[in-house]
């Protein structure tokens, strides 16, 4: 960990809560399909994509690998490490679902929309700046909140929000 200051507002998400939120996302998406393929934005979209794919019965899952964060902050430029496979890009875009854990500024979702127009974009969590880039989401959090996903957390004491016990 670096000396960089972390955001004041923290939103830790447990595995149980994340699983419930992903199932809620699948519930909302059920009326928008049927989808024939999911493209998950990695790495954050891997877990929600697996849950949504199970719930909606989708068997084709691909990834687009984009680096957008480093050292607890969003990077200025996005780096596409792996693009979507041609067998997916050749599909009817209305049958393709894009899944990510979070839309923050919307830069990543916008890049994916430029590469895959007319697809349905879904995230579990959305911040106000990125929300216009998403068709379906479950929970909105403030722009100045940092979401700690279950894969980022360990079990430890958490001080009360208002201060010492």
* pLDDT, tens digit only, all 165 positions of the chain: 445 555 578 999 999 999 999 999 999 999 998 999 999 999 999 999 999 999 999 999 999 999 876 665 666 788 899 999 999 999 999 999 999 999 999 999 999 999 999 999 999 999 999 999 999 999 999 999 999 999 988 777 777 777 666
161 found inside a domain:
no
Question: Tokens 């019965």 belong to which residue?
Answer: 57
90 found inside a domain:
yes
Q: Sheet with 60-70: list strands edge to edge.
A: 73-82, 60-70, 37-42, 96-103, 120-126, 136-140
**What is the per-residue pLDDT for 2?**
46
Q: Can you give the residue range of the structural domain that contains 73? A: 10-152
157 found inside a domain:
no
104 catalytic residue (yes or no): yes
**What is the per-residue pLDDT for 153?**
85
DSSP category for residue 58: -
3 found inside a domain:
no
List residues bridging with 41 in a β-sheet: 64
Handedness of CA 71, 73, 76, 80 (dihedral sign): positive
Domain count, the chain: 1
Q: Of 100, 135, 144, 152, which is the active-site residue?
A: 100
For 114, other C-beta atoms within 10 Å of its C-beta total 8
35 found inside a domain:
yes
4 found inside a domain:
no
Dihedral, CA atoms, 38, 39, 45, 47, nearest 10 degrees?
40
Is the Cβ–Cβ distance between 51 and 83 less than 8 Å? Answer: no
21 catalytic residue (yes or no): no
Q: How far apart are CA 105 and CA 95, in angstroms?
A: 25
Q: Of 104, 135, 144, 152, which is the active-site residue?
A: 104
3 catalytic residue (yes or no): no
CATH of the domain at 105: 3.40.50.2020
Contacting residues for 50 by C-beta, under 8 A, at least 6 apart: 61
Q: Of 101, 135, 144, 152, which is the active-site residue?
A: 101
141 found inside a domain:
yes
């Amino acid at each position: 960990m670096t000396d960089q200051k972390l955001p004041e507002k923290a939103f830790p998400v447990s595995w149980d809560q994340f699983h419930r939120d992903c199932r809620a996302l699948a519930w909302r998406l059920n009326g928008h399909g049927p989808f024939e393929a999911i493209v998950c934005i990695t790495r954050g979209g891997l877990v929600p994509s697996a849950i949504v794919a199970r719930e909606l019965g989708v068997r084709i899952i691909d990834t687009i690998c984009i680096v957008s964060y480093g050292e607890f902050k969003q990077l200025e430029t996005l780096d596409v490490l792996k693009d979507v496979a041609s067998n997916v890009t050749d599909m009817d875009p209305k049958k393709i679902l894009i899944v990510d854990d979070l839309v923050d500024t919307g830069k990543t979702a916008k890049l994916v929309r430029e590469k895959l127009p007319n697809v349905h974009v879904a995230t579990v969590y959305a911040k106000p700046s990125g929300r216009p880039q998403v068709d379906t989401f479950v929970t909105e959090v403030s722009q100045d909140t940092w979401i700690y996903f279950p894969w980022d957390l360990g079990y430890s004491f958490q001080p009360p929000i208002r201060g010492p016990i």
